[in-house]
Each structure stands twice: as C-alpha cells, then as structure tokens.
C-alpha cells in the first residue's frame, strides 16, 4: 500500500512532532507575565541544569508570575533545585535579581514543585562570627507581590507573583542549578 504524497507528508510531520515532544525535558516551572485579564504570556523553565536565554529578554514587566512546572512520577522526591534570574545592564556584568528555591512535595498525582524566593543578605562580622543582615539600602531586591495561596509548612508556595515595586523589570536569562 502506497500513501498519497500529502498523507505521507502529514504522517511524517506528526511522527516528528511526537518524537520531539517525547524528548522534551520536564519543566521545573513556567515563567510569564500578564497580557490581559486571566491571560499570561509564558515560557517553560526546563528541569535540566544550565543557563538559558529568556525569550522575554529586554522586555521589562511590572509583574512576573512563576507557576508550577510538571508533576513528576518517581519513587522518591526529585532533588531540590534553584533558579537564578538575571538581567543585563549595558556595559556592566549581569545582575542577579533573585534566587528561587524549588522543592518537590508529594501529591496524589506525583511530585509537584513549589517555590520560595530566597532573601539576599549581607554579612557583617561582629567579632564572634558573621551575622546575616537583610539588604535594604538601595540594593536591587525582587519583592513578592501577591501570593494566590498560603505557603506550605516549609514556606514554599505553589505559585509566585513578583517584581520591583514601582518599576518594570526585565528577566534576560536564568540559570538552573
């Protein structure tokens, strides 16, 4: 049996799409920003380690949203991860905006990721050792804006909304660790 050229082409395209989808890495999170009531422009942050250029590079937003990535099926909880979000400044080194810790928690469907923005601290030596002090004096620090749900007992949220109060912020790339 010989397939007509159009059907053969369509079959080849569907097989190529299915093969590509099967090899896609699981998503650790989904990053996006609001584009209308109840609508987000989104991109996935893959579970694999490394630096990734943001498709939103150079597009400052007042609010960024981080929603759950893929629920994973596994015997044990997947290892915790970190997502470091950066912006570029002309002629200067890239600037770390924040670090988001990701930890997996058991649900009926599998291991679901949850998120926490880590506070950035300066260290001061008091003679007996170093003590962390939150940075509040002109240091760029991302602020959690609104939390749709309460955190779990370990302080992780199912989703986050964050930004810089009063100004738009671009996320140019991220590093997953």
On whether the CB atoms of residues 116 and 138 are closer than 8 A, the answer is no
pLDDT tens string 60-86: 999 999 999 999 999 999 999 999 999
Say what the pLDDT of residue 46 is.
97
Domain count, the chain: 1
- Residue 51 domain-assigned (yes or no): yes
Average pLDDT (39-44) is: 96
- Residue 120 domain-assigned (yes or no): yes
C-alpha dihedral sign at 90, 96, 100, 102: positive
- Residue 113 domain-assigned (yes or no): yes
- Residue 139 domain-assigned (yes or no): yes
Characterize the bridge pairing of strands 92-107 and 81-89: antiparallel
| 3-class DSSP string for 4-67 | CHHHHHHHHHHHHHHHHHHHCCCEEEEEEEEEECCEEEEEEEECCCEEEECCCCCCCECCEEEE
pLDDT tens string 99-111: 999 999 999 999 9
Token output for 110: 């599998």
- Residue 3 domain-assigned (yes or no): no
pLDDT at 13 over 50: no
Domain residues for the domain of 31 are 26-176
- Residue 143 domain-assigned (yes or no): yes
Residues 6+ apart with CB under 8 A from 23: none
Give the other-Cβ count within 10 Å of 131's Cβ: 11
Cα angle 85, 154, 138 (rounded to 5 degrees) comes to 40
- Residue 17 domain-assigned (yes or no): no
pTM: 0.76
- Residue 10 domain-assigned (yes or no): no
């Amino acid at each position: 049996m010989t397939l007509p050229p159009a059907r053969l082409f369509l079959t080849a395209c569907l097989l190529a799409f299915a093969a590509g989808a099967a090899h896609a890495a699981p998503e650790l999170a989904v990053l996006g920003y609001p584009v209308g009531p109840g609508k987000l422009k989104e991109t996935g942050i893959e579970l694999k380690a490394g630096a990734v250029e943001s498709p939103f590079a150079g597009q400052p937003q007042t609010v960024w949203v981080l929603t759950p990535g893929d629920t994973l099926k596994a015997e044990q909880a997947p290892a915790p991860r970190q997502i470091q979000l950066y912006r570029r400044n002309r002629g200067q080194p890239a600037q770390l905006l924040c670090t988001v810790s990701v930890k997996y928690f058991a649900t009926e469907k599998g291991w679901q990721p949850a998120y926490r923005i880590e506070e950035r601290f300066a260290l001061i030596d008091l003679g007996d050792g170093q003590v962390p002090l939150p940075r509040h004096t002109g240091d760029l620090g991302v602020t959690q804006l609104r939390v749709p749900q309460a955190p779990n007992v370990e302080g992780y949220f199912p989703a986050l909304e964050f930004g810089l109060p009063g100004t738009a912020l671009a996320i140019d790339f991220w590093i997953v660790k």
